[in-house]
Amino acid sequence: MDAIRSGDYDPSQTWEDDMNYQRFFEEAIDQLHAERRYRVFADLERIAGRFPRAIWRANGRAEEITVWCSNDYLGMGQHADVIAAMQQAAGGMGTGAGGTRNISGTNHPLVELEHELADLHGKEAGLVFTSGFVSNEAAISTIARLLPNCLIISDELNHASMIEGVRRASAEKKIFRHNDVAHLESILQTAGRERAKLIVFESVYSMDGDIAPIGAIADLAEKYNAMTYIDEVHAVGMYGPRGGGITEREGLAHRIDVIEGTLAKAFGTLGGYITGKRTVLDAVRSYAPGFIFTTALPPAIAAAATAAIRHLKASQAERVAQQTQAGRTKDVLSAAGLPVMASPTHIVPVLVGDPEKCKAASDMLLEDHGIYIQPINYPTVPRGMERLRITPSPYHDDAVIDRLAEALIQVWDALDLPKRDQALAAE
């Protein structure tokens, strides 16, 4: 024991047979480099009121650039009403929530936010979490754990947060081929009407921008007596007459048991939520560790989110302008010969098909053209499907779109990337 008295301990001394902890972390990082999927985050500072402009800092320099890949899809993070709501709530109630809801109660702006969300989706209740990721992980796992012998049936392209929810449920799972209702039906049929079943899927898949056959999935859920859970993260605020997502646009919200969404994308703030029947949400509230044992969303964030939701319930201007500019971006880039992948939504994926070139294209756009579009590589998309994922907003005007097309063409030529016909033929 004497040898480990603090006075005798020499932290620089190592022994041959000592466990070298550091090495494992270095190897893990080296592997990412070797697979060309080590992530580098750009140092950015958005400029409120000048969306989509931002300041990019690198190598001691600070430059103004245009962001082309933000998930603040409608620029609501800089909307005057949303900023004012946040400032007012922080001024009146302070910055933090003061603890978990169990300890500190539910701050009043959070109560209002949950009412607003229930109303948005036409549901009995809403329950807010600290992020969309946490809402999926906590809600899917808790719902499935509370159902006896539940079979989770999950779309193969579901987001990582839904996959975590499925894993944590420790229930049996079956994966159905992406948007393949025939495959889904065969799984439901085998499981039978008697068994508890939870179908989990998304409305808009964010990497390809495609949309699930929600009506057909709801039909099957009714036929085989299954519960349905939809992630509308990439659709809330942007689709439907009040921004209730694709389920609202298609008049299907009442046919889905749980609608999940985020406050961090079109609503411009932070947090996630589920809406549905009061009993289901009360059970999740009461049993989900990811809800119970973490500090609640602060009042200022809740108030800002409510302001954004209220604005987008009433205003069509942002939705219309976003669809117009997304359509124009697709047309201009396609006309320039770039391999724009077909998508019926606001998401504009441009295929690169190589991880190193995808990263190089992103670097070149930023360094030479002042345009920020992050590379999307494996495992976010399959190998060979690496891409630039472009998200036009209402504030990317026609001149900005034309500049993007010119910059992309220069980058495509410099890196000898396949143009539209070659790339999409090989897809």
Ligand X SMILES: Cc1ncc(COP(=O)(O)O)c(C=O)c1O
Site string for ligand X, 197-216 (x = CB under 6 A): -----x---x----------
Residue number with the smallest Cβ distance to ligand X: 132
Considering only residues 106-145, where is the footprint of ligand X by CB under 6 A?
A: 131-133, 136
Q: In Å, what is the CA distance from 371 to each residue of 309, 339, 368, 394?
A: 29, 18, 8, 17
CB of 136 to ligand X, least distance (A): 6
Q: Cis omega before residue 379 (within 30°)?
A: yes
The residue assigned the tokens 């890949």 is 69
Catalytic residue among 265, 330, 357, 359: 265
Does the annotation mark 265 as catalytic?
A: yes
φ and ψ of 229, to 5 deg: -135, 115
Q: Which residues of 266-282 are buried (b: 16+ CB within 10 A; e: fewer)?
A: bbbbbbbbbbbeeebbe
In the bound state with ligand X, the residue whose beta carbon lies nearer, of 109 and 245, is 245
CB of 248 to ligand X, least distance (A): 17
In the bound state with ligand X, the residue whose beta carbon lies nearer, of 73 and 395, is 73
In the bound state with ligand X, the residue whose beta carbon lies nearer, of 364 and 390, is 390
Per CB under 6 A, the list member of 262, 269, 306, 377 interacting with ligand X is 262
Report how far residue 166's alpha carbon sits from residue 370's, in angstroms, rounded to the nearest whole number.
Answer: 40
Q: Is 413 exposed, middle or buried (0-12, 13-18, 19+ CB in 10 A)?
A: exposed
φ and ψ of 61, to 5 deg: -110, 155
Considering only residues 219-258, where is the footprint of ligand X by CB under 6 A?
A: 231, 233-234
Residue 154 found at the interface with ligand X (CB under 6 A): no
Would you say 347 and 391 are in contact if contact means Cβ atoms under 8 Å apart?
yes
Per CB under 6 A, the list member of 113, 264, 274, 352 interacting with ligand X is 264
CB of 369 to ligand X, least distance (A): 26
Residues annotated as catalytic are: 265
- Residues within the interface to ligand X (CB under 6 A): 131-133, 136, 159, 161, 202, 206, 231, 233-234, 262, 264, 272
